[in-house]
Structure 1
Amino acid sequence: MKYLSKLWIVILFALSSAIVVQAQEKFKIIGLIVDEENTPVPFGNVGVFTKSDSSLVAGAASKEQGNFELAVVPGDYYTRITYVSYQPQFIPVTVRNRDVNLGVIKMVANTDVLDEVLVEGEKSQMELKLDKRVFNVSNDITNASRNAADILDNIPSVVVDVEGNVSLRGSQSVRILIDGKPSGLVGISGADALRQLQGNIIERIEVITNPSAKYEAEGSAGVINIVLKKDRKKGFNGAFSGNIGVPIELGISGNVNYRKGRFNIFGNYGIEYDKRPGEGNSEQIFFPETDSTYTTIRDRDHQRGGISHTFRMGTDFSITDNDIITASGLIRLSDEENKATIRYDDFNGSGDLTQRSIREDNEGEDEENHEYQLSYKRLLPGKGHEFKLDLQFRDGLEVERSDIVETYPLDNSREDLLQRSVNEEGDANFLIQADYTYPIKEGKKFEAGYRGNVRQITSDYIVEEQNEQGEWVSLENFSNRFVYDENVQAAYAIFENDMDKWGYQFGLRTEYTYISTFQRETDEKNERDYLNLFPSMFLSYKLNKAYTLQASYSRRISRPRFWYLNPFFSFSDRRNIRTGNPYLNPEFTDSYEFGLLNNLENSAFYAGVYYRHTTGLHQRVSYGEVLPGDSIVTTFSMPLNLGKEDAFGLEANFTYDPAEWLSMNGNANFYRSIIIGEFEGESLDRDTYTYNFQMAAKVKVGELDFQLRGNYRGPEITTQGERKSIYWMDLGANYKIMDGRGIFNFNIRDLFNSRRYRGFTETDVYRETSEFQWRARQFSLTFTYLINRKPGRNGGRNGGDYDGGDMGM
């Protein structure tokens, strides 16, 4: 009874308190929300929070005319005004015994300007930030009508080799993402897929050389994030382009966006047809143990290309003031017809021609990729307090069919060799990731998240040869059915503190990996799993407003790529075969970097030194072997865990705008690599120095813009030879008509046709010199028409009106 009476007292006290609170007079908080052009913003989210504990006390949406009204009791508050693709506005409010008018509140487009140093006054081609470098490639007029591989090859410190492999600061262990996540646009192999990714849907490229624990640990050299276009302006707007080029290049593309109130829809479509000629040659001198020395000269001509379609569509929808859902889908279809002709001339030790063979490969390549994404974002009480959830599913199918004929013009008694191959590759991937950000207080925040990724890749590769009876017989040494399963589960936590002068961040990421490979031909299964910790640390010190020092450390992993594990996948050149290694282990890298960032009124400069220590290094090793039933040496290239590498480098970036009509930017990278390793008792130790330079200048004369970009890559000693130097220049020009709504662009890729890859390889069986040009000089003309969209001052085709995907885990 005593407890019951006390309970009644508590209830009566609570009721009386509620009555007193309700009896308190409420006063209005009113205001008007406009955008940067002073246009009213309807359906903007307005929340009122207590200053003491950030609890929400009132909320409303602005009306069609942009005005809003809320009622609260007297107290100390702050208001948070948010709208999709605009920076949140926080305004302190003290309500006493009268209404409060906040006046006109101007929203600013969200361009992620925190901790940013903008290189140019407008949408710069290059932006230097404390954690990454951003290249606004749509503002580079030499990039018109380019594909993703071409664009990446013009990014400082990024190299795309003759086979399409991407490396960053001398390492191919780099992770490529689309809008912050793995994507079917990169494809299974990555190399050919990047050549098929049309550049007109790319807004910018972000290069992160030392990622924090928030990013997935994959990629020893860092992360390259390709951000696709997504408009953030209200109403209807878009851009449509058409291009024509020599060698054959035809394309039409368009991107549109419609935004009203809480709803936004965006989409783009592109169709492209091209034919890309290329050529190469090599001289191989063989000295097998059981035969005399002989020489093979190989000449190759090829033409690759076909038709491709890319369609992407998505929507943003604000369910409530604090809940936003984004859904998007992407489909890419391609149909290529590739032709390659290889001529082998064999000479004996006296220099006499003993044999000639001509191998013609006609390949049809069909590819289909689908990708679906769903994202949810919840804004929680407090500035920067939020939760994000992302779901992604993608699948792809690529089928390559080759018909091969090899003839022997100097030997009439020898029958033609007929071969064919079919390679069917499938890829299915599911990704889920969640990110939580909690601001502790001014300058301090805590982040945590989870990421789960499950993937399966299958490859059915069959090579057949026609025998004397006209029957097709499988070549068992090269046919293979391969299944690759990968399951990566990860969690991370980060603490950050940004003070007046000092700033620091500490993070830890845990990843569990399970990988399984299965060769159905041999019924051989290889399973492995490992649990790893990946710490990251960042430290910055602001000397003054113009100078900032930065130091960072991270541990990274590079798991073997699918093509590094798959034993066989190509038979186009039967004398030079690239294979995989299903027993390859991951490589681990500890990466350190220290740099100085300087920003002045009309220039910016960054200089940094870096060091990477890698164990279990992935390197391709070449060797020669005489196959059963053959009298000549076949060369093989296979990836191995070669040993360890210590890499040292110095990198510098600068921009300089001496006048309104002139802007310049450049990059230099000096690099030293020491590799210690061996293969079959042979030492493959290497100590090499190399350097890369890039310089670009843009001149503006009225409505006409000119841009010239030059690249030079110095020679480099490789594990078994040397890569020679390479240089090239690109030229572009823009001319605007119809008050800037129409833009003509003309550009020449590889102005002097000098982009040729040259190298030298030596093993205990052969010595080879080679030269290869993957793609010849290209002339392109593009016309772009803008609808309700302003061109950028730089003459960029899209004026920087786009927003892109955030970097995810």
Structure 2
Amino acid sequence: MKFFWTLLLLIYFSSLSQAQNTPVTQFIIKGKIVDEQKQPVPFGNIALYQTSDSTLTTGAVSEEDGTFSISTKPGSYYIKITVLSYRERVIKNVQVSTQDVQLGVLTLKASAEMLEEVVVKGQKSQMEMQLDKRVFNIGQDLANIGGNAAEILDNVPSVAVDVEGNVSLRGSQNVRILIDGKPSGLAGISSPDALRQLQGNMIERVEVITNPSSRYDAEGEVGIINIVLKKNVNQGVNGSFTANVGYPDNYGGSFDVSYRKNKINLFSSYGFNYRSAPGYGSSFQQFNDVTDSGIDTTFSYSETNKRTRGGTSHNFRVGMDYYLNDKNILTGSFLYRRSDGRNSSRFEYSDFDGTGQLIRTVYRSEQEKEPEDNIELALSYRKEFAQKGRSLTADFKWIETNELELASYIQEEPDATIFQRASNTEDERNALFQVDYIHPIGEKGKWEAGLKSTNRLLNNDFLVEELAGENSWVGQEGFDNYLTYTENIHAAYLMAGNQFRKFSLQAGVRGEFSDIIVERPELDEKNIRRYFNLFPSAHLSYEINKSKSVQLSYSYRLSRPGFRELLPFSGISDARSIMVGNPRLNPEYTHSLEGGYLLNFENGSLLSSAYYRYRTGVIQRISIVDSIGFRRMFPVNLATQNAYGLEFNASYTIQNWWRLNGNINFYRAITSGSFEGQSLYSDAYTWTTRATSKMTFFKRLDFQAGINYRAPQDIPQGRELSSYSIDLGLSTDVLKGRGTLTLNVRDLLNTRKRRLIIEEEGQYSNSVSQGRVRQTLLTFTYRLNQQKDSKSRERDSEDDSENGG
């Protein structure tokens, strides 16, 4: 018997080896697709399926003359032909045996009715809610079409972008911003203005993760905002082309094109934009002497300013996915961004004495050029094992950014004219490497681990000079220095989770070693920060039924000071109100606890969240006024904070043609600290809300109206007043559904302004600023072999963002 089994095994392996060495004969299936007018249909998707189990075997794309050819081995198949705005056609009983197969001319019938049905039923929700994150599909929000990344984030519920481009989530600027799950110069690693240079047409969606697990970087007090860029993986040639024109000056265009055939997917995108955006502001400053006999006004002034920010920007991205097989994917991409900023401002100061009499008027103007280059190279590898859910990913990314700011100033006083110039050079280099491994446990559990290392080097050279004589420029004391910033962060994490009936539990820990050096060589000053921290996280969820679930989560996080918060220098556009940094800042630490309740019902969903954050080493900006009324603001670690909040996100479909989305966030922050004997206690109550209504008329015309409101709130040393804005959008399909025209108006009533009051012993300030006025924009989009929503592109983008954690 043993001999029998041995002989049987030898015969089996011999036949297997012979089969592997025998080449499989391939034959060609040929054909041509035309429309009802007998005109060729180019770039059509032709998919070949096995008859036995409907498995997709391979596919092809029709050429410009409508012809196609598919290479395959003998077998029984059927073919499915899909082209946008045509009825799907299925060719059954395609038998490949001993010769090539000629299908001849295949006619496709136009189907406008089917196109309308696909667009309405296949449309993704504008806001998708999950317990661990919220997903905002950019293309579904008409107010975002044609905008840049900063404007898009400003329209995301609970997110705000201020005049300088700083992003805050739930009232805090300590939020981590990623591109495709990884750090990027496009997200403004060192310059918040970078988000204004990223065209919104390149963005697929925005993910808001309010309490991230140990898989993600510990950076970011209130969580992570992940911007996912577009990438299409449909077979054949697919793409979209966009052009926009707006007022104030806003002109641009972009394309997003991909080509997929067999094992290779090529993708590329390009965006160009020119802007010239005006802004305005005014303030009144009053300074007092406090004596035993009362308060005497010693000096006051009013200030008005006009600013224009703009210039040109280019974003180019190209990449390739190479499918080694159905389990291994290698991806490489290259990104280049070039921006040439052109900024100008003019300030008018009116000085008054203690009795309110005008003493003098001073004018100060600025002209600034701001060229910047950003290069990014990314490589990634993903391996799927035979065991379902088991995977290994490895990523490498290189980022290099060079930015130069050149400004000239003219200050006109009653008895003199002052000429100044400033230069600020920022050269930055980033390198990132990470590897992540996921291993299933049983049917519904898994454990995962990963390593990550990042290196960041930034050189900053800042100089302000004043004209002392003919062609004689003299450096200004306190505004001439050189700074280098080196940051090395090495991290590892381990996390496990499982489901026990209706309970799901996930817990992990992340360790991060930070090595940060800030040097000022001219002063022989070196500030070294080295520290190691463990950051635990835990997520518990319970499924009440298929439509109701609750979650409780905890995480421990930190917020390292941003580069510009460490810079001891800053711009001097407003010579009377200068913001500087502090090289001695330490990181903030946050304990975050959040509970959520998700209710899905037939026509919508509701996500309710309650959160609490306890922060230590809170960074606050201190305002100090000198003897002549000039204000200097700088950050210090001076406080602790207890923050509480309630947030509600709702999505509801009244009818197939009418959808509503809404968000409301109640927030309270109690901040306690002191500086040089001065108590800086504040108890801030505020709330924000955003609501949008989107209606579809005549199956082709979309109308959207949205309102944003921010309630007043107390801040250290003052109070910020309320603000609101209204956005409108109108969109319709043209060219048989291949194109879309969109007209939107942002801030219809021109009310999006920041109003601030500072009132404390010795000084009073009342200011209003508007960094962006009402914007009207007309956008045209043309789709090539692509519907409004691509399911495969959506899936691929989700994989990208998950791999980037």
TM category, shorter: 0.7 to 0.9
- After superposition, the Cα gap between the structure-2 partners of 1:652 and 1:516, relative to the gap in structure 1 and judged at 3 Å, is same
Match of 2:713 in 1: 716
In the other structure, the counterpart of 1:746 is: 743
SS in 1 for 2:569: coil
CA distance in 2, matches of 1:647, 1:264: 47
1:269-348 to 2 correspondence within 5 Å?
Answer: 269-287=270-288, 293-348=298-353
Aligned AA (1:123):
K
Which position in structure 2 is the counterpart of 1:33? Answer: none
**Is 1:676 matched with 2:672?**
yes
Cα distance in 1 for residues equivalent to 2:202 and 2:524: 43
- Tell me how far 1:39 sits from its aligned partner: 5.1
Judged with a 3 Å threshold, the aligned counterparts in structure 2 of structure 1 residues 719 and 120 are, in CA distance, closer, same or farther, namely farther
Report whether the alignment pairs 1:693 with 2:700.
Answer: no
Partner of 1:521: 522
SS in 2 for 1:172: coil
Structure 1: unaligned runs, 5 residues or longer: 1-9, 31-36, 49-59, 71-118, 627-631
1:424-439 equivalence runs, <5 A = 424-439=425-440
Match of 2:358 in 1: 353
**Cross-structure match for 2:598:** 597
Shift of 1:25: 9.9
Structure 2 portions without partners, runs of 5+: 25-43, 61-69, 76-119
Cα offset, 1:751, TM superposition: 0.5
What does residue 241 of structure 1 align with?
242
Query: What is the deviation of 1:633?
Result: 2.2
Alignment match, 1:157: 158
Displacement after TM superposition at 1:786 (Å): 1.1
Counterpart residue number, 1:660: 656
Corresponding letter in the other structure for 2:638: L
Q: 3-state SS of the aligned residue for 2:801? A: coil
Question: Do residues 396 (structure 1) and 396 (structure 2) align?
Answer: no
What is the percentage of aligned positions where both structures have the same residue? 44
Report the counterpart of residue 10 of structure 2 in structure 1.
Answer: 19
How big is the shift at 1:232?
2.0
User: Which residue is 1:647 aligned to?
Assistant: 643
2:223 corresponds to: 222
The 2-side partners of 1:491 and 1:442 are apart by: 26
Q: Classify 1:497/1:188 alpha carbon distance in 2 versus 1 (closer, same or farther; 3 Å).
A: closer
| Alpha-carbon displacement from aligned partner over 1:80-125 (angstroms, at most 9, x marks no partner) | xxxxxxxxxxxxxxxxxxxxxxxxxxxxxxxxxxxxxxx9973111
Tell me by how many angstroms 1:686 deviates: 1.1
2:202 is the counterpart of 1:192: no
The whole-number CA distance in structure 1 between the counterparts of 2:198 and 2:190 is: 13
Aligned to 1:96: none
CA distance in 2, matches of 1:41, 1:213: 43
Contact 1:42–1:66 (Cα < 8 Å) also in 2? no
* Structure-1 separation of matches of 2:48 and 2:559: 47
Kindly provide the amino acid, as one letter, of the partner of residue 789 in structure 1: Q
Asked if 2 retains the 8 angstrom alpha-carbon contact of 1:274 and 1:305, the reply is: yes
The alignment's C-alpha RMSD in Å is: 2.8
The equivalent residue for 1:75 is none
Which residue is equivalent to 2:633?
Answer: 637
TM-score w.r.t. the length of structure 1 is 0.85
What is the one-letter code of the residue matched to 2:574?
A: D
Equivalent residue letter for 1:353: L
**Alpha-carbon distance in structure 1 between the residues aligned to 2:541 and 2:72:** 42
1:69 CA displacement = 9.7
> 2:47 corresponds to which residue?
40
Q: CA deviation at 1:762?
A: 3.0
Q: 1:555 to 1:41 in 2, by over 3 A?
A: farther
Per-residue deviation, 1:41: 5.5
Quote the residue 2:90 is aligned against: none
* Contact 2:232 2:793 (C-alpha < 8 Å) held by counterparts: no
Deviation at 1:801, TM superposition (A): 9.1
The residue number in structure 2 matching 1:202 is: 203
Contact 1:123/1:800 (CA < 8 Å) preserved in 2?
Answer: no
Q: What residue number does 1:104 align with?
A: none
Find the counterpart in structure 2 of residue 803 from structure 1: 797
How far apart, in 1, do the equivalents of 2:579 and 2:586 lie? 18
Distance 2:376 2:16 in 1: 54
Cα deviation, residue 800, structure 1? 6.5
Equivalent-residue separation in structure 1 for 2:234 and 2:786 (angstroms): 9
CA gap 1:470/1:69 in 2 versus in 1, 3 angstroms: same
Q: Name the structure 2 match of 1:613.
A: 614
1:470-526 CA distance string (max 9 Å, x none):
510001212221110000000001101024311010110000000000112312110
Name the counterpart of 1:113: none
Q: Indicate which of 752, 759, 764 corresponds to 1:762.
A: 759
| Structure 1 position 296, deviation (Å) | 1.1
Return the TM-score normalized by structure 2: 0.85
Whether 1:380 and 2:385 are equivalent positions in the alignment is yes
Alpha-carbon deviation of 1:16?
6.3
Q: Distance in 1 between matches of 2:678 and 2:508?
A: 41
How much does 1:243 deviate? 0.7
- Change beyond 3 A, Cα 1:469–1:651: same
Which residue in the other structure is 1:111 paired with? none
Structure 1 residue 40 displacement after superposition: 2.8
Paired letter, 1:522: L
1:300, 1:340 within 8 Å by CA — same for their partners in 2? yes
Shifted more, 14-23 versus 700-709: the winner is: 14-23
Contact 1:142-1:732 within 8 A present in 2 as well: yes
The 8 Å contact of residues 47 and 58 in structure 2, kept in 1 or not, is answered as: no
TM superposition shift of 1:287? 2.3
Deviation at 1:163, TM superposition (A): 2.0
State the 1:764 CA deviation: 3.8
The one-letter amino acid paired with 1:138 is: G
Q: Give 2:781's match in structure 1, choosing from 784, 789, 804.
A: 784
Aligned twin of 2:731: 734
Match of 2:97 in 1: none
The alignment partner of 2:545 has SS state of coil
Within 2, Cα distance between the matches of 1:378 and 1:611? 39
Distance in 2 (alpha carbons) for counterparts of 1:25 and 1:229: 44
What SS does the corresponding residue of 1:633 show, helix, strand or coil?
coil
In structure 2, distance between residues paired with 1:717 and 1:69: 75
Shift of 1:799: 10
Query: Could you say what secondary structure the match of 1:740 adopts?
Result: coil
After superposition, where does 1:444-593 map in structure 2 within 5 Å?
444-468=445-469, 470-593=471-594
Does the CA-based 8 Å contact 2:283-2:765 persist in structure 1?
Answer: yes
Give deviations 1:307-363, integer Å, cap 9, x for gaps.
111101111001233221000010000111111001111101111110211000000
Worse overlay, 491-500 or 656-665: 491-500
